[in-house]
Chain A
């Protein structure tokens, strides 16, 4: 059987009609030959696995939404990284059924110069994704990559704007009744199509049932709760399953269960509607601290809680309504907000903790059989702190990963939900002259921090819960 399968594999793979490399790749080799190595190396910074969301500074959170009883006229959420700003706007928070969704994203240069040249793929600087929060509709984000690298000039004060409809080309730019999270992502480089800059932000819009009266009602907008097992960096609930309460979630011992409570649009007030989420049985599901600095990438108020599945059993996660909360206006129709209650069944872990692989010195010892992930942020994090004045280079498993400038730090994250990160890592740090400063062997799951100072390298556990996910 095995021989037959192996023969088939060899036969099919070796006789497959495989295409040749496109001319574009040949052109890139030529291009590389005439570009200075220093410039190209710089272009790799932050390319490997970054924390784009963690690096964001959300400076506007659904402007106007927090006004009690007021009808916001426009949603606008902005993320900033360095000298660039990504603004995602919707003409209004609520659309009527059949009405064109007027959402756009703009990238703006805000640095000290008159302009900046940025490079990105032919399809543009901005990608969108749409996810229905109360249904299954979804348009995945993405864009054509490196089909053609083009350079654009961003003049200060003249943002590049990309409408949602133009970017996605979905039929009629229409959405059916529901609540949708729209995410805009901008990825571009300052010298070529590699992307040292990643920006992303989201807003929530609502499409009402009535074309005549787009005002939302409680029947239209149900409370949103997300429970997610083993979330991504900093609790990004991208893959969460959204529901209005009462659901059943299954987790395994060692999993981290993230709870996100999102306030429905019509119930937004200055007071968060729910009290803290509690577990009915801390021996089954125990509360753990969220990592500091969880970004609020929603245009609606959201509150996160995290729990660790400790042992097999059943526990309820519940959040009563806050006694301080009052509905912003008389209920138009439908039901009022109510307490949240979710059942979580915890089963025994099916996957044993990874066993360390013997490696060359210096051997990095990870204490204890800590289950994956070891933190509420998900994945494995390596923070590199460079206290030298010159830059250092980080190589992981012989693959160039990051350049960390003097006096700065970078966090490299590996996140592969639902799978565990690909470990181990052999991390080598070299100085500007190319000399090796030190190396470390990391098996996870405990996050690690490397500190380079005085020509020496030290490393040890990194407590992301107190230091944050960035």
Chain B
């Protein structure tokens, strides 16, 4: 268990991060957080926001030692390539730069305060995801217990330590910890202490945690995102290539593990148009793999990608109008063109399904079966069509519509899962 101040310094948060919490140490940390939070309530919000902005700038500075420590530890801890960590980690902190945090507070919190202690059960998919919930909690005067996901035990501890370095009293309101999912004794201690739980996980996990929480729980379940390419984009070779490159970037960032990573691309046109665009995306993924080396895949991921590729190849050999564009390495990229209008997720690891749709007016029918799981949509369309398409996508249940190439850079105001970022956390 790593508290923002004190314990972390002794061995370095990177090493301490791999240690698992025990119920007794959790209880101790929670007591410390509660004491520190009482002092936090008395501090002016502007002072807290300014300190957090400093922390974020410290991380984003060109010679940041915090960033270097994260960049050194994360590849081994997460399986992401060093190049990917250096490329993608800053984008996890940029949304917190001034004046975004102050603006969000003005818009959603006004003078309201948060609960005493918020437990954040973080997803383990992307490094750096802890920064926003940690900063938002402190900004509304709440202490935060960050329960790291298995995929990234390094960043939450480092971020907590960096806050403590800038402002010890603020850092004392932040603690990072880790226990294995399903560790009942630890979960029971944390759930019974928290005044609010914000949890990511699958539906069963969320339901289980909700039933066991003493107070409120806000759950974020699994989600998927997709891209939409209008027919006009395909009629100009240069524009089409650019769109393919932007989509490839959206797919490749964090090797597609985020809920804003597109898994499906809907191309306005026929199968041939989808095929041509799919080939362009595969080329772009190939170029990108040179620069952003793919993550280390687990054997299960490699087998899933193999099955995804085999299915497409044998559908084509069996006479269906499917196509496969696969790069040599399993994790470098797989583009599958499927003739039927059906939105299905992929095995991730930079895998994309490309579907033709004769007319984007039919988006509603195509997306209806997966409405509950939709999160973001990246759009490549001429400016004149964008507003109407964005409205249609929002009507289909999409929570964030943006330009292709911007999918992985959500602003702080992103309403994840259709919820306000902060308003739900505040005390009634």
Do A and B associate with each other? no
